[in-house]
Structure 1
Amino acid sequence: MAPPLSRRSLFQAAALAAAVPAASVVPTARAAAAVAESPTASAALPAPAAWTVKPFALDQVTLGQGLFADKRELMLDHARGYDVDRLLQVFRANAGLPTGDAVAPGGWEGLDGEANGNLRGHYTGHFMTMLAQAWAGTGEQVFADRLRTMIGALTEVRAALREDPEVLGTAGKFGTAVENVRGSYQYVDLPSGTLGAASAVTLSAWVKPTHDGNWARVLDFGDNTTRYLYLAARNADGVPRFAITTGGPGAEQGLNGTAALPMDQWSHLAVTIAGGTGILYVNGAEAARNTAMTLTPAALGTPVNNWLGRSNYPADPVFAGAFDEFNVWSRALTAAEITGLQGSRAADSAAGRGDLASYAFDETSGGTFADGSGRGLTAALRRTWGGPSHPGFLAAYPETQFIDLESRTSSDYTKVWAPYYTAHKILRGVLDAYLATDDARALDLASGMADWMHSRLSKLPEATLQRMWGLFSSGEFGGIVEAICDLHAITGKAEHLALARLFDLDRLIDSCAANTDILDGLHANQHIPIFTGYLRLYDATGEQRYLDAARNFWGMVVPHRMYGIGGTSTGEFWKARDVIAGTISATTAETCCAYNLLKLSRTLFFHEPSPKYMDYYERALYNQVLGSKQDKPDAEKPLVTYFIGLTPGHVRDYTPKQGTTCCEGTGMESATKYQDSVYFTTDDGSALYVNLYSPSRLNWADKGVTVTQATAFPQEQGTTLTIGGGSASFELRLRVPSWATAGFRVTVNGRAVSGTPAPGSYFAVSRTWRSGDTVRISMPFRLRAEKALDDPSLQTLCYGPVNLVGRNSSTAYLPLGLYRNAGLSGDLLPSLTPVAGKPLHFTLDGTEFAPFHEGTEDPTHAYFRRSEPRVVFGGTDSGVANPAKSDGTTLLDEIWAAAPFAGKGALVARVRSTVDAWVAAGLLSAADGRTVVSTAQRATYAP
Structure 2
Amino acid sequence: MQGHYMSAAAKMWASTHNDTLAGKMSAVVDALHACQQQAANGGTGYLSAFPAEFFDRFEAIQPVWAPYYTIHKIMQGLLDQYTVAGNGKALEMVVAMAGYFGDRVRNVVQRHSIERHWTSLNEETGGMNDVLYQLYAITNDQRHLVLAHLFDKPCFLGLLAVQADSLSDFHANTHIPVVVGGQMRYEVTGDPLYKDIATFFLDAVNSSHSYATGGTSVSEFWYNPKRLAQTLSTENEESCTTYNMLKVSRHLFRWTKEIAYADYYERALINGVLSIQRGRDPGVMIYMLPQGPGRSKAVSYHGWGTQYDSFWCCYGTGIESFSKLGDSIYFEEKGSKPALYVVQYIPSTFNWKSAGLTVTQQVKPLSSSDQNLEVSLSISAKTNGQYTTVNVRIPSWTSENGAKATLNGNDLQLASPGTFLSVTKQWVSGDQLTLQLPINLRTEAIKDDRPEYASLQAVLFGPFLLAGLTTGDWDAAPAAAISDWITPVPSSYNSQLVTLTQESGGSIFVLSTANTTSLTMQPRPVGGGTDAAVHATFRVIPQGSSPKKTRKRRHLTNGTSTTEPTSAMIEPFRLPGMAITNSLTVSGDKSSASLFNVVPGLDGVPGSVSLELGTRPGCFLVTAGAKVQVGCHSGGEAQGFLKAASFARAEPLRRYHPISFAAKGARRGFLLEPLFTLRDEFYTVYFNLGD
- TM-score between the two structures when normalised by the length of structure 2: 0.70
Who is 1:437 aligned against? 85
Deviations 1:269-304 (A, max 9, x none): xxxxxxxxxxxxxxxxxxxxxxxxxxxxxxxxxxxx
Note if contact 1:735-1:762 (Cα within 8 Å) is conserved in structure 2: yes
Match of 1:712 among 361, 364, 368: 364
Q: Which has the larger radius of gyration?
A: 1
Note if contact 1:561-1:580 (Cα within 8 Å) is conserved in structure 2: yes
Who is 1:6 aligned against? none
Matching of residues 168-183 of structure 1 within 5 Å? none
Note if contact 2:109-2:117 (Cα within 8 Å) is conserved in structure 1: no
Mapped pair 1:735 → 2:393:
yes
| Partner Cα distance (2:403, 2:95) in 1 | 49
| Partner Cα distance (2:366, 2:45) in 1 | 48
1:504 deviation in Å?
Answer: 2.0
| Partner Cα distance (1:841, 1:722) in 2 | 30
Note if contact 1:465-1:503 (Cα within 8 Å) is conserved in structure 2: no
1:683 deviation in Å?
Answer: 3.6
Match of 1:799 among 450, 458, 461: 461
Who is 2:526 aligned against? none
Mapped pair 1:864 → 2:524:
no
Deviations 1:18-75 (A, max 9, x none): xxxxxxxxxxxxxxxxxxxxxxxxxxxxxxxxxxxxxxxxxxxxxxxxxxxxxxxxxx
Match of 2:295 among 639, 644, 650: 650
Match of 1:139 among 4, 17, 23: 17
| Partner Cα distance (1:743, 1:457) in 2 | 60
Who is 1:777 aligned against? 435
Mapped pair 1:530 → 2:530:
no
Note if contact 2:210-2:447 (Cα within 8 Å) is conserved in structure 1: no
What secondary structure sits across from 2:15 in the alignment? helix
Note if contact 2:486-2:661 (Cα within 8 Å) is conserved in structure 1: no
Number of residue pairs the alignment of both structures matches: 505
| Partner Cα distance (1:706, 1:518) in 2 | 46
Matching of residues 548-567 of structure 1 within 5 Å? 548-567=196-215
Deviations 1:877-897 (A, max 9, x none): xxxxxxxxxxxxxxxxxxxxx
Matching of residues 138-157 of structure 1 within 5 Å? 138-157=16-35
| Partner Cα distance (1:829, 1:720) in 2 | 33
1:834 deviation in Å?
Answer: 4.2
Deviations 1:217-272 (A, max 9, x none): xxxxxxxxxxxxxxxxxxxxxxxxxxxxxxxxxxxxxxxxxxxxxxxxxxxxxxxx
Deviations 1:295-337 (A, max 9, x none): xxxxxxxxxxxxxxxxxxxxxxxxxxxxxxxxxxxxxxxxxxx
Who is 2:4 aligned against? 126
Note if contact 1:717-1:780 (Cα within 8 Å) is conserved in structure 2: yes
Change (3 A) 1:613 1:465: farther
| Partner Cα distance (2:490, 2:25) in 1 | 46
Change (3 A) 1:421 1:464: farther
1:447 deviation in Å?
Answer: 1.0
| Partner Cα distance (1:543, 1:568) in 2 | 28
- TM-score between the two structures when normalised by the length of structure 1: 0.52
| Partner Cα distance (2:91, 2:70) in 1 | 18
Who is 1:501 aligned against? 149
Note if contact 1:626-1:855 (Cα within 8 Å) is conserved in structure 2: no
Deviations 1:793-827 (A, max 9, x none): 01110000100001122x24x1112325546xxxx
| Partner Cα distance (2:489, 2:115) in 1 | 57
Change (3 A) 1:515 1:566: same
| Partner Cα distance (2:118, 2:230) in 1 | 29
What secondary structure sits across from 2:439 in the alignment? coil
Matching of residues 250-261 of structure 1 within 5 Å? none
| Partner Cα distance (1:863, 1:607) in 2 | 34
What letter corresponds to residue 340 of structure 2 in structure 1? L
Who is 2:345 aligned against? 693
Deviations 1:120-166 (A, max 9, x none): xxx11111111111111112111111111111111111111xx14xx
What letter corresponds to residue 859 of structure 1 in structure 2? F
Change (3 A) 1:428 1:570: same
Matching of residues 143-292 of structure 1 within 5 Å? 143-160=21-38, 163-164=39-40
What letter corresponds to residue 675 of structure 1 in structure 2? G
Note if contact 1:693-1:713 (Cα within 8 Å) is conserved in structure 2: no
Who is 1:703 aligned against? 355
Note if contact 2:4-2:74 (Cα within 8 Å) is conserved in structure 1: yes
What letter corresponds to residue 403 of structure 1 in structure 2? D
Mapped pair 1:815 → 2:466:
no
Percentage identity across paired residues of the two chains: 33
What secondary structure sits across from 2:355 in the alignment? coil
| Partner Cα distance (1:866, 1:464) in 2 | 56
Change (3 A) 1:545 1:459: farther
Matching of residues 584-595 of structure 1 within 5 Å? 584-595=232-243
Deviations 1:425-483 (A, max 9, x none): 000111112233322221111111111111111233298555555568x6211122221
Who is 2:675 aligned against? 852
Mapped pair 1:753 → 2:405:
no
Question: What is the Cα-based RMSD across aligned positions, in Å?
Answer: 2.1
Note if contact 2:275-2:289 (Cα within 8 Å) is conserved in structure 1: no
Change (3 A) 1:465 1:707: farther
Who is 1:899 aligned against? none
Who is 1:27 aligned against? none
Who is 2:53 aligned against? 400
Who is 1:28 aligned against? none
Change (3 A) 1:507 1:711: same
Deviations 1:544-582 (A, max 9, x none): 221111111111101211100111000000011112212
| Partner Cα distance (2:416, 2:138) in 1 | 41
What secondary structure sits across from 2:359 in the alignment? strand
Match of 1:672 among 319, 323, 327: 323
Change (3 A) 1:739 1:560: same
Who is 1:245 aligned against? none
Consecutive unaligned residues in structure 2, runs of 5 or more:
495-656
What secondary structure sits across from 1:458 in the alignment? helix
What secondary structure sits across from 1:571 in the alignment? coil
Matching of residues 103-118 of structure 1 within 5 Å? none
What letter corresponds to residue 157 of structure 1 in structure 2? C
Deviations 1:64-113 (A, max 9, x none): xxxxxxxxxxxxxxxxxxxxxxxxxxxxxxxxxxxxxxxxxxxxxxxxxx
1:847 deviation in Å?
Answer: 2.0
Who is 1:459 aligned against? 107
Change (3 A) 1:459 1:819: same
1:842 deviation in Å?
Answer: 1.4
Deviations 1:710-746 (A, max 9, x none): 1135557121001112344222211111110255321
Matching of residues 302-701 of structure 1 within 5 Å? 387=41, 391-408=44-61, 412=63, 416-461=64-109, 464-469=113-118, 475-634=123-282, 638-652=283-297, 653-654=300-301, 656-658=304-306, 661-684=312-335, 686-701=338-353
| Partner Cα distance (1:460, 1:543) in 2 | 27
